[in-house]
Structure 1
Amino acid sequence: MVGLAASLPEGDPLRTVGEAVVPRRLRTTEGWREVGLAALSAAGAKDIPVETRLHHSLPPWTDSTAVQFHLDLGPRASRAISAETRRAAAEERIRELPPEAVWVWSDGSAEGGVENGGGGALLRPPNGDDLEVRVPAGRFCSSTRAELTALLAALEAAAELPGCRGVPVVACLDSKAALLLLAGGAAAQASTLGARLWAQLRRMTADGSTVTLQWVPAHCGLAGNERADALAKEAAALPQQSTPVDVRTLTRAVARHSKRKWQADWPAGWYRTVMGDRAPAPVRTATREEAVDIHQLRSGHWARSEQYLHRIGRRPTPECAQCDDKECPAGRCLVCSEAADTPAHVLLECPCLYGPRLRALGNIIGAAHDVRRDDVVAALAAGYMAHKSRSATLPLRR
């Protein structure tokens, strides 16, 4: 909400409220301003300027036929094909484009795809020397936004080249995501950056230029693309703090920081032994009962475990009403009677599941990382319950 308020124009009521400094009336209660600013500060984004939100989309009725998008080079440009074949396919397509044009090779770079973005571009006018462009894309920046930033800077530079007004422009970039976003049309742009790009494209076509945006495969040896990639990496090292960030990118940066902190604060225990510092993907199984078993076994609180039921007081015995001692006979595995039937014992150690483990894992003893697989956990839980129902009953334990 703080980022959204900051993206609104001066005088907007929400922005005024967001920027207001109001004394707290209650010590234990914080408003959205305080919570938002604290989250931005923790993520290192408190002092980063926010890009003005796009309030009016560009009109869809303006003629845009002078802007053409080419998003494919055929099956020979697939990532599964060798770099030499992909380069040959790209060079074949490039030979079909206007040779007497302002050629633009642009690329974007972002550390980990989310931070310290930079855009680089190489411009080759028909008569003149090459021009290199470097521009920071933001402290927090997606790879796609870095690509768009590079393209915008390159097109603006191309429009200022002397003697190139009305000359065709060919822009080559290796981001299909960026091209697909622009190919939706001027009216489909939901970001200020996308709208600025289309406004620049329209200014260039209004001056008589045709603009061709061509996708090329990355890292296949195309000289222009390789140089643009190097320029983008250099641009990523430029000062970033004064570069505006859009609200969506800012929100994602705060969400990533909050998730990392939440995961780092997980207590040590069985769940962390299994999952490390990452949350599991949604469980997709045939039945809800299987999904419940999977979640409970990973969390260490399985409702079918004798040890767990005894720990919460649901399996009292004359000798012990309730305890958390894994050596207590009341929590002993009813199938093998060798140890408490904790999730670790059931999934990794219980002798009754040697066969299922061997079939699923290739080993009769499992490891903690094996429990990350939904199908393995579901199969072992079902196998254990089948053994338990056949060979173990409460009276036998007494």
Structure 2
Amino acid sequence: MAGILPLDLRVREAASLFEAKKGVCQSWLGDREIERMSSAMDAPHPAEQQSLEFGNLVDEEQYNNLNHLDVRIFTDGSKIEGRVGAALSIWDGEVEIRSLKLALAPYCTVYQAELLALSYAVKEAQLRNGSTFGVFSDSKAALLTVTNHGSLHPLAVNIRKMLKECTLQNKTVALYWIKAHAGLEGNERADQLAKEAALLSKRSPHYDLCPVSYVKRIIRGGSLDEWNRRYRDSDRASVTKIFFPDAVAAYSTVRKMRITGHITQFTTGHGGFSEYLARFKRKGDPSCACEPGMPETVEHLLTSCPIFGKQRFELENKINITVNKENLCKLIVEKNVKELFIDYAVQIVKIVNKKNKE
């Protein structure tokens, strides 16, 4: 099939791209350590696993009913201005008795920050006097991770281990999910502390393991940059470059589109157009029906062919943009324009396909 690279060339291209990805990853990581899941072999036997669950508090009245708790520990995580922090606010009755700010590396996630805060909260329960502790978090994702024995996230595994040790100390540690910004003083205080930890901390991070999701994002970014370089430097895909001059921008646009055969034809130039058909000896004359000697290309059909002048005029009046070569890359991406433009282009493709087939 025309346009398909030979197998050996495709293999070399794939190998080259793999090496580029590997290089991007290694150069970015440096001495950073990737966060790895704990081994399932280190998990306790199912018969020895502690049953874990968390309560859901949706209003202040439910919170006020927890009068039996000796100590209440509020946790939160925050990512703001590219920096990450977590915090604890520890309360005895109506009084905050201690607070703790935790810094994380800037590439860490809020999810990691929430789990780190929970781990420090349970550690506080281990070390403090008292028999009943309540740990409050507004991150349901973090709580679900902790209570799911199948999750091998290292922070969650460590939390479960400490919860079991608390049980052996005859301490009860109850986990609760609370609605964020619902007016609970302890929760608001933890939120404020977490933001301060993210923005103001100048100490070494308490946690700096790099999440796999971030590594993937770095590799993806490197791959897209390399793809874009090859795309721009190549003499192929001349029609596609009219619509998508930048491969990275094209990636984010095309993945949201429902691609059809007709859309593929006008964005690649590979379709039932006289110029394309003549190139592969499927038609004798590459000319458009509007004028002998004028090649029937996608650019000509969409931007200047008089046969479709009426449709073009109507579209330009609706979108208030001139349909020319320079604007095609805008017409296919702008939110309030692209659907109208795609309908216009598809209509032309269908008419031309039918004419050339006959």
Structure-1-length-normalised TM-score: 0.63
Paired residues, number = 318
User: Match of 1:10?
Assistant: none
Structure with greater proportional helix content: 2
User: Match of 1:303?
Assistant: 271
**1:280: Cα distance to partner?**
3.4
Work out the CA distance in 2 between the residues paired with 1:274 and 1:353: 29
**1:381: Cα distance to partner?**
4.4
2:30 matches 1:46: yes
User: Match of 2:116?
Assistant: 149
2:69 matches 1:100: yes
Bigger shift: 34-43 or 128-137? 34-43
2:74 matches 1:110: no
Pairing partner for 2:162 from 191, 200, 207 = 200
Unpaired segments ≥5 residues, structure 2: 1-14, 233-240
Work out the CA distance in 1 between the residues paired with 2:96 and 2:287: 91
2:147 matches 1:179: no
Write the deviation string for residues 291-334 of structure 1: whole angstroms up to 9, x where unpaired: 23334544x434234455567886664999xxxxxx9612367x
Work out the CA distance in 2 between the residues paired with 1:144 and 1:175: 8
Write the deviation string for residues 342-366 of structure 1: whole angstroms up to 9, x where unpaired: 5x779xx9545459959xx954757
Write the deviation string for residues 86-126 of structure 1: whole angstroms up to 9, x where unpaired: xxxx31221232353311111112358xx643221111135
Unpaired segments ≥5 residues, structure 1: 1-28, 74-89, 321-326, 334-338
The amino acid across from 1:159 in the alignment is: Q
Tell me, yes or no, if the aligned pair for 1:263 and 1:278 is still in contact at 8 Å. Answer: no
Work out the CA distance in 1 between the residues paired with 2:309 and 2:66: 69
Work out the CA distance in 1 between the residues paired with 2:210 and 2:63: 34
Pairing partner for 1:61 from 39, 43, 47 = 47
SS in structure 1 at match of 2:104: strand
Tell me, yes or no, if the aligned pair for 1:137 and 1:149 is still in contact at 8 Å. Answer: no
The amino acid across from 2:262 in the alignment is: D
The amino acid across from 1:329 in the alignment is: M
User: Match of 2:237?
Assistant: none
SS in structure 2 at match of 1:140: coil
Tell me, yes or no, if the aligned pair for 1:105 and 1:123 is still in contact at 8 Å. Answer: yes
The amino acid across from 1:231 in the alignment is: L
Structure with greater proportional strand content: 2
CA RMSD of aligned residues (A): 4.3
The amino acid across from 2:269 in the alignment is: H
1:36/1:269 Cα in 2 relative to 1: closer, same or farther (>3 Å)?
closer
Tell me, yes or no, if the aligned pair for 2:37 and 2:152 is still in contact at 8 Å. Answer: no
How does 1:156-175 map onto structure 2 within 5 Å? 156-161=123-128, 163-164=129-130, 166=131, 168-175=132-139
Pairing partner for 2:105 from 127, 130, 138 = 138
1:91/1:330 Cα in 2 relative to 1: closer, same or farther (>3 Å)?
same
Work out the CA distance in 2 between the residues paired with 1:362 and 1:274: 28
Write the deviation string for residues 155-175 of structure 1: whole angstroms up to 9, x where unpaired: 2123222x22x2x22122121
1:377/1:282 Cα in 2 relative to 1: closer, same or farther (>3 Å)?
farther
2:301 matches 1:341: yes
User: Match of 2:348?
Assistant: 384
Work out the CA distance in 1 between the residues paired with 2:46 and 2:341: 53
Work out the CA distance in 2 between the residues paired with 1:394 and 1:50: 57
SS in structure 1 at match of 2:89: strand
Write the deviation string for residues 4-39 of structure 1: whole angstroms up to 9, x where unpaired: xxxxxxxxxxxxxxxxxxxxxxxxx99x9x877633
Pairing partner for 1:270 from 221, 225, 243 = 243
1:241/1:96 Cα in 2 relative to 1: closer, same or farther (>3 Å)?
closer
SS in structure 1 at match of 2:295: helix
The amino acid across from 1:49 in the alignment is: E
Bigger shift: 219-228 or 257-266? 257-266
User: Match of 1:330?
Assistant: 295
SS in structure 2 at match of 1:117: strand
